[in-house]
Each structure stands twice: as structure tokens, then as C-alpha cells.
Amino acid sequence: MISTFAEGPQGVTFLVKHRTNGKTYILKKIECNDDPEANRALREVMRLTKLSHRHLAVPRDAFVHWDSAEAAMYLCIVSDYFVTGDLDSFLKEKSRKGKSMCESDMQRWMGQLLHAITYLHDSGIAHTDLKPSNVYLTPQMDLRIGDFGIRTVIEDLHRFRCRTRTAVWSLYWSPPEVFEGPHGSKTDIWSLGCMLFEMAAMVHQSVLKSREVLLQLRVGDRVEFLETLKQIGLGYEKSCHICDCVMQMLLADHDVRPSARDVLKMHYPRLCINMVTNKGTETPK
């Protein structure tokens, strides 16, 4: 172990180095109640390791560990460490400098995110905790979505009386249905819409201001949201298509909000996907 990387409601995260290859990884350590429950969660995480997509940060490995010193059972998940950081830090720093997103970069990144999310949904997996801090930057400045499926594992462990504290959903990126009852893959569409809104709105306002607007939108206050869309409309060549896409993805009604496959049929997302695939007819794989 190199150091403690972060502590949160989903467990403790460490920066670790592989003894054989010398590479640095992230290890997430989640406390469980007993061996059967931990192994059930382990099987779910191992299912995630079988996924393969160039814009997903798939878990490298997982195992169950008994810590005799703490008399506790842990589920441990090993993932890649991205020295370049995450999208959250990138956007905040860019915003701090008063810079906006390049339209082509925003289009390329949205294509990568939508491509990966469609693949996840087609594989029967919803991320349900999609946000900029869970999206990582490669040295080539491409995006990879991480921590997918992990919150579902945590919630399952909770139902099995896991001693880890309840995961706290980020208010900025969570649609209304998260706090009202069962939710599924369309939660990710809301979160993608939030990311597109935040990146596009940098032409007009700071990242922190956009998050305040998103929080207001989640509770039904659309005044500043609509005003920001007007400003986005003045800032980009494809602004009308961007705004239309954001409006559809941030529909409060879960039943009316489009699925990932529905989003792919919209004009702006098709432009984004084309930048990733270079083929207008290719669908995410």
C-alpha cells in the first residue's frame, strides 16, 4: 500500500502498487457483515470484470479479505489508477481559469460517454452513480467511466446488513426518482444530461454555478436552467441541437425521459457518436 486515497460512505480507497509489475492501482475496501454476503457481492463484481469497452475503466480484480486485527470481512476491488485525474477536477480547473469547453472536445467526450453507457445498458447494467468524479482522463485526454455497478453492490450489501454507512447520492447528478423509489438505467441519462449541460454552460458561467442550477432543476425550479440554455444557445455552432438534447435528457418524468438507445436517435448525439466511431451507421459495441 502506498497511501490512503479517499474515505467515503462507500468504503476506504487506497493507492497500491503491484508487487510483480510495479504498476499503481486503486483498491476500494468495503466492509461487509460476513463471508456469505461478501462472496455474493464478489460474484457480482467479478461479472463486471468481464466487460470490455475502450471507454470503461473495468475493475481489474476483486477478492474477499478477512482483517483479523479489525475482526472484519472486506470486499476489495482493484481498479486502474488514472494519474491524469478525473473529469470533475478538469472542469473545475478550467472553470477557475475562466475558460469554456472547445465545442469539438465536448462533442467527442459526449460521444465517448454515450457510447460506453449504451454498451453498459445493453449489457444489462446501470451505472446509477454517474458523475464527473467517476469519469477518468487518460494521458491521451480520452474519457473512461469508472465505478459502474459498484453502488448497486454496496446497496445489496446494505440489504444484507453490511456495516458500511449508507451511500450518499450526489444531489447534483441524481434525478428525482432516486429519492422516490425504484430507479434504473434512465438515471444515467439524467446524469449524462447534467454533464452535457455543465460543459456547455461553461461558455456562460462557472461549474459551481451550473451545479446550483442543476440542484434547483431537480426540485422543480426551471427558471435559471432555462435562462442558462438561452446563453448556451448563443455560444456554440450546434447550440440548438445541444439545448434540445439537454432538455430531453433532463426530463423529470422517468417514464418520458429517453433511454440510451432513444438518445442515439437525436441529432446532436449522432454527431457525437460519429466522432467516436467515424461511421454514421455504427452502433455502440
Residue 236 pLDDT: 86
Question: For 12-69, what is each residue's pLDDT tens digit?
Answer: 889 999 888 889 999 998 888 888 888 888 998 998 999 999 999 999 999 999 888 8
Residue 170 pLDDT: 60
Is the distance from CB of 80 to CB of 60 less than 8 angstroms?
yes
Q: Is the pLDDT of residue 227 over 50?
A: yes
CATH number at residue 150: 1.10.510.10
Of residues 204, 163, 198, the one with CA closest to residue 33: 163
Amino acid at 93: E
Give the range of the structural domain holding residue 69, as residue numbers without chain letter: 3-80
Give me the number of domains the chain comprises. Answer: 2
Q: Is the pLDDT of residue 6 over 80?
A: no
**Its pTM surpasses 0.75:** yes
In a domain? residue 230: yes
Residue 37 pLDDT: 84
Task: Kindly report the number of other CB atoms within 10 A of residue 154's CB atom.
Answer: 22
Residue 162 pLDDT: 38
In a domain? residue 285: no
Q: Based on the domain organization, do 118 and 177 belong to the same domain?
A: yes
Last residue of a domain, one of 80, 112, 142: 80
CATH number at residue 46: 3.30.200.20
Rounded Cα distance, 57 and 108, in Å:
18
Cα torsion 227, 185, 91, 219: sign: positive
Q: Based on the domain organization, do 71 and 113 belong to the same domain?
A: no
Last residue of a domain, one of 80, 113, 130: 80
Q: Is the pLDDT of residue 7 over 90?
A: no
Q: Is the pLDDT of residue 73 over 60?
A: yes
Q: Based on the domain organization, do 122 and 30 belong to the same domain?
A: no
In a domain? residue 282: no
Rounded Cα distance, 80 and 59, in Å:
7
Q: Based on the domain organization, do 91 and 53 belong to the same domain?
A: no
Q: Based on the domain organization, do 141 and 258 belong to the same domain?
A: yes
Residue 169 pLDDT: 45
Question: For 136-149, what is each residue's pLDDT tens digit?
Answer: 999 999 999 998 76
Task: Kindly report the number of other CB atoms within 10 A of residue 148's CB atom.
Answer: 25
